[in-house]
């Protein structure tokens, strides 16, 4: 009875590949979101410090990862 719910053997390696791709996408998004938050804090600091060069560098980096 349980056999009808299992994927056939040839599809299971494909499932592992899809799971791996999905996990990589989730991880990449988490890393990108974390970096965006870091850059936002650094931009705020550059504004407080009135550091125009750092502000421009960071906003350019933020644009490139968005």
Residue 33, Ramachandran bin (φ over 0: left; ψ between -120 and 50: alpha; else beta): alpha
Examine the pLDDT at 2 and tell me if it is beyond 60.
no
pLDDT for 4-30, tens place per residue?
A: 666 665 567 788 899 999 999 999 999
Would you state the pLDDT for residue 10?
57
Q: Would the pTM count as exceeding 0.85?
A: no
User: For residue 52, which of 60, 16, 15 has the smallest C-alpha distance?
Assistant: 60
| Mean per-residue pLDDT over the chain, rounded | 89
Alpha helices in the chain (DSSP H): 11-48, 52-65
Residue with tokens 């974390």: 34
Give the percent of the chain with pLDDT over 90: 71
């Amino acid at each position: 009875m349980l056999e009808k719910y299992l994927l056939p053997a040839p599809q299971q390696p494909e499932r592992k590949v899809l799971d791996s791709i999905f996990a990589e996408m989730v991880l990449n998004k988490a890393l990108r979101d974390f970096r965006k938050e870091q850059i936002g804090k650094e931009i705020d600091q550059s504004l407080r410090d009135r550091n125009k060069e750092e502000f421009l560098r960071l906003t350019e980096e933020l644009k490139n990862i968005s």
